[in-house]
C-alpha cells in the first residue's frame, strides 16, 4: 500500500520562493568588489534572480546546459545561482585559485556556455577564451563604470544586460533529480572530477545543516559565509540562510582579519564558517589590537583539522562556541559536526575539548562505517582505524561523464580516502588521508595529530608532517614548520614541547623550518609538493 501524500519536488527555486513569501524584508548585505557596502532584501534578490533567468534565456541558455561562475561571495553571485537553477540550467562554480591549465580542462569538460565572473578575474577570462570553444561569452558581475579593461570580443557587463530585461518570468517545473550544480574536485591526483549536485540533494543537504546540532540556523541568525561559494556550495549556507530567513552578510574578496572583524561587529553576525587559516589570522588580528566579539555566537571550522589553540581562544577568551566540521565536495559537502551530545556538558573541560576536536558525528542523512583493507567493518571503539566509507541522500554516486569509473562498493558506500576512527558516541575522527598516513616499522603514525600538536606551540604559525624514506623503518615523520614572526623556536624546543603528548616513537626525527607551506586551491596543505621537495632529506640515525 502506498501513502497518499503529495508529490512536492524538492527543488532549489522553492527555497528562494519560501524566503520571498515569509522573509522578504530580511537583509542581504555585501561588501562589493568595487568598494563599499550594498544592502538589499530577499525580495530584491528574488526579483533580480528572475531577471537573470530571463537574461539567460535571451542569451540562448537552455535547460540542462552548464554555465560557469568564477566569483567571490556577493549578492550578484547568488542572483546568478538562483537564476540558473530556476530555469533548469546547471551552475558550475570555477575556483579562481586553480592553475590556468586546470581551469581550461574543467571548463571544457563541463562544456560551459557562458562564464559569469568578478572583474578581478579578467585574467582568467582571457586565459580561457582562446582555449574553450564552448564558451560564448564572459559576463562581468559589475556595472559599466567598473568594467575591467580587456580586449575580449565577447565580454559583457552584467548590470547593462540586466537593465535590458524585466523580472516577468516563471521558474521551470523541475524534476527534483535534475542537475542543479557542478563542482570539480581539486585534482590533487590526475585531472579534476566533476561532482554533479541535484536539486534534491541541495535541498536535503541544506535542511540537514540548519539543524541545532549542525549549524543551528534560524530566522534570527545573521550568517557570514567566509567559505567561498566556489568551494562546495559555500557549505550550503547560500541555500540554508534563505531557507530559514537568516540575514546574510557576504564578505566579497577581502577575508583579512580586519575586514571580517568589521563586518562581524557592524552587521551583528552570529554565525560564520571557514577554514582554520582564516580563523588563525582573525585571532592574531584581534589579539594584536585588543578587540572583542560582541555578537558572534558560533564558529564552524572545517576544511582541515581544527587547531586546539583556535578552539580554546574562541571559547575561553572571546566566548564563542566552536564546532569542528568535516566533509567533502562529494558530500555536498558537510558530513559531520562536533557539537557535544546531551550529558557531555558535565564532562571535564579537557574531555570536552578532546571530543570537540574530533570531526564529529553525522546528522540524519549520512551513514558512516570504518573498514579494514579487506572491507571488514571495524568496531566503533574510538581506537580501531581504517578506511572511512559514507553513503547518504546528498553524497555522489559517480562523477560527471563517468570519470573515475565505479566509485561505490557493493553496499553503495563511497570511499572518502580518509583513515578514521568511530567512537562509541558516534563521533568520527580523521587520523589521516590514506595517502598521507606514515607507515613506520609496520605501524601507522597520524600526520594530522602531529600537526595539531605542533601548531599548539605558541611560536608556530603553521605545521605540516610528511613521511620521508628511512632504510630501517620504511618511513619516519618529518615536521615542517613556519615560525611566527620574531620566533626563534628550535628543533629541540619543539620536540621537547611535543614529548609526552604522543608515543615517543611517533615523534618526528627532524624539523625543517620554512618560510611558507604550499596549499591547494581549496586551502589544504600540498603534501605531495612537500614530499617531492624533501624526498632526499637525510634519514636520522
Domain ranges in the chain?
12-17+39-199, 366-433, 438-533
DSSP code at position 454:
H
**353-374: pLDDT as tens digits:** 999 999 999 999 999 999 998 9
pLDDT of residue 358: 95
pLDDT of residue 304: 78
Residue with cell 528574488: 46
Q: Which pLDDT band, with edges at 50, 70 and 90, does 169 fall under? A: very high
pLDDT of residue 526: 86
Answer whether residue 88 shows pLDDT above 90: yes
* Mean predicted confidence (pLDDT) in 138-144: 98
Instruction: Spot the catalytic one: 72, 93, 185, 522.
Output: 185
Check: CB of residue 259 under 8 Å from CB of residue 307. no
The alpha helices in 148-192, defined as continuous H runs, are 158-163
Answer whether residue 276 shows pLDDT above 90: no
Instruction: Spot the catalytic one: 397, 439, 505, 532.
Output: 439
Coil/strand/helix, residue 231:
coil
pLDDT of residue 189: 55
Q: Which pLDDT band, with edges at 50, 70 and 90, does 541 fall under? A: low
Q: Which pLDDT band, with edges at 50, 70 and 90, does 206 fall under? A: very high
pLDDT of residue 127: 96
Q: Give which of 159, 157, 84 is closest to 122, Cα–Cα.
A: 157
DSSP code at position 35:
S
**119-137: pLDDT as tens digits:** 999 999 999 999 999 999 9
Q: Which pLDDT band, with edges at 50, 70 and 90, does 179 fall under? A: very high
pLDDT of residue 315: 98
CA torsion, points 315, 318, 321, 322, in degrees to nearest 10? -70
Residue with cell 552570529: 270
72 part of the active site: no
Answer whether residue 382 shows pLDDT above 90: yes
Percent of the chain with pLDDT over 90: 82
pLDDT, mean over the chain: 94
Q: Which pLDDT band, with edges at 50, 70 and 90, does 540 fall under? A: low
Check: CB of residue 483 under 8 Å from CB of residue 455. no
Q: Could you tell me the three cell numbers for 507?
A: 615523534
Residue with cell 541544506: 206
pLDDT of residue 442: 63
330 part of the active site: yes
Q: Does domain 12-17+39-199 have CATH number 3.90.1170.50?
A: no
Query: Domain 438-533, what architecture?
Result: 2-Layer Sandwich (3.30)
171 part of the active site: no
Coil/strand/helix, residue 157:
strand
DSSP 388-441: EEEEETTS-SS-GGGTTS--B-TTS-EEEEEEEEE-TTS-EEEEEETTT-EEET
What's the rounded Cα separation, in Å, for the pair 158 and 435? 43
pLDDT of residue 187: 53
Strand duo 414-422 + 428-433: pairing: antiparallel
459 part of the active site: no
Instruction: Spot the catalytic one: 444, 520, 524, 533.
Output: 444
3-state class percentages of the chain: helix first, strand second, coil last, to nearest 5 = 30, 25, 45
* Mean predicted confidence (pLDDT) in 206-233: 96
Which of 158-162, 226-230, 417-421, 523-527 shows the lowest per-residue confidence on average (mean pLDDT)? 523-527
What's the rounded Cα separation, in Å, for the pair 210 and 298? 13
What's the rounded Cα separation, in Å, for the pair 98 and 393? 29
Which fold, 366-433? Luciferase; domain 3 (2.30.38)
Instruction: Spot the catalytic one: 330, 449, 451, 462.
Output: 330
Which of 62-66, 83-87, 228-232 shows the lowest per-residue confidence on average (mean pLDDT)? 228-232
Answer whether residue 188 shows pLDDT above 60: no
What's the rounded Cα separation, in Å, for the pair 39 and 224? 14
What's the rounded Cα separation, in Å, for the pair 72 and 94? 10
Amino acid at each position: 500500500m502506498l501513502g497518499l501524500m503529495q508529490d512536492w519536488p524538492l527543488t532549489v527555486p522553492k527555497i528562494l520562493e519560501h524566503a520571498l513569501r515569509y522573509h522578504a524584508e530580511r537583509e542581504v548585505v555585501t561588501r562589493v568588489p568595487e568598494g563599499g557596502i550594498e544592502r538589499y532584501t530577499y525580495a530584491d534578490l528574488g526579483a533580480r534572480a528572475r531577471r537573470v533567468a530571463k537574461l539567460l534565456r535571451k542569451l540562448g541558455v537552455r535547460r540542462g546546459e552548464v554555465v560557469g561562475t568564477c566569483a567571490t561571495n556577493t549578492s550578484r553571485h547568488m542572483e546568478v545561482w538562483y537564476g540558473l537553477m530556476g530555469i533548469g540550467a546547471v551552475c558550475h562554480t570555477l575556483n579562481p585559485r586553480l592553475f590556468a591549465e586546470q581551469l581550461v580542462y574543467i571548463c571544457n569538460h563541463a562544456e560551459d556556455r557562458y562564464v559569469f565572473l568578478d572583474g578581478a578575474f579578467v585574467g582568467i577570462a582571457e586565459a580561457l577564451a582562446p582555449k574553450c570553444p564552448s564558451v560564448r561569452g564572459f559576463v562581468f558581475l559589475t556595472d559599466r563604470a567598473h568594467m575591467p579593461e580587456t580586449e575580449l570580443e565577447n565580454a559583457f557587463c552584467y548590470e547593462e544586460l540586466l537593465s535590458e530585461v524585466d523580472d516577468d518570468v516563471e521558474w521551470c517545473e523541475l524534476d527534483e533529480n535534475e542537475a542543479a550544480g557542478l563542482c570539480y574536485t581539486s585534482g590533487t591526483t590526475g585531472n579534476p572530477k566533476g561532482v554533479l549536485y541535484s536539486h534534491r540533494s541541495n535541498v536535503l543537504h541544506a535542511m540537514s545543516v540548519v539543524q541545532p546540532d549542525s549549524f543551528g540556523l534560524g530566522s534570527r541568525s545573521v550568517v557570514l559565509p567566509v567559505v567561498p561559494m566556489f568551494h562546495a556550495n559555500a557549505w550550503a549556507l547560500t541555500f540554508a540562510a534563505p531557507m530559514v530567513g537568516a540575514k546574510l552578510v557576504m564578505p566579497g574578496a577581502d577575508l583579512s582579519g580586519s575586514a571580517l572583524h568589521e563586518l562581524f561587529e557592524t552587521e551583528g553576525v552570529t554565525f560564520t564558517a571557514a577554514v582554520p587559516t582564516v580563523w588563525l589570522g582573525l585571532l592574531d588580528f584581534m589579539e594584536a589590537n585588543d578587540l572583542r566579539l560582541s555578537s558572534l555566537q558560533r564558529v564552524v571550522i572545517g576544511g582541515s583539522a581544527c587547531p586546539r589553540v583556535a578552539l580554546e581562544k574562541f571559547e575561553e577568551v572571546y566566548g564563542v562556541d566552536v564546532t569542528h566540521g568535516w566533509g567533502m565536495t562529494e558530500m555536498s559537502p558537510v558530513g559531520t559536526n562536533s557539537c557535544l551530545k546531551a550529558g557531555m556538558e558535565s564532562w571535564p573541560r579537557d574531555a570536552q575539548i578532546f571530543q570537540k576536536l574530533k570531526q564529529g558525528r553525522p546528522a540524519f542523512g549520512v551513514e558512516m562505517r570504518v573498514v579494514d583493507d579487506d572491507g571488514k567493518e571495524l568496531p566503533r571503539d574510538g581506537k580501531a582505524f581504517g578506511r572511512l566509507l559514507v553513503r547518504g541522500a546528498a553524497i555522489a554516486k559517480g562523477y560527471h561523464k563517468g570519470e573515475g569509473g565505479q566509485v561505490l562498493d557493493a553496499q553503495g558506500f563511497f570511499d572518502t580516502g580518509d583513515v578514521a576512527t568511530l567512537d562509541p558516541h558516534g563521533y568520527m575522527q580523521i587520523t589521516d588521508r590514506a595517502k598521507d598516513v606514515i607507515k613506520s616499522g609496520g605501524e601507522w603514525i597520524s600526520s594530522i595529530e602531529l600537526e595539531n600538536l605542533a601548531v599548539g606551540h605558541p611560536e608556530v604559525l603553521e605545521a605540516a608532517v610528511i613521511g620521508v624514506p628511512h632504510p630501517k623503518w620504511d618511513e619516519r615523520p618529518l615536521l615542517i614548520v613556519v615560525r611566527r614572526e620574531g620566533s626563534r623556536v628550535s628543533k629541540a624546543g619543539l620536540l621537547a614541547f611535543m614529548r609526552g603528548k604522543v608515543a615517543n616513537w611517533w615523534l618526528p626525527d627532524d624539523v625543517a623550518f620554512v618560510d611558507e607551506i604550499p596549499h591547494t586551491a581549496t586551502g589544504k596543505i600540498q603534501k605531495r609538493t612537500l614530499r617531492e621537495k624533501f624526498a632526499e632529506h637525510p634519514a636520522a640515525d
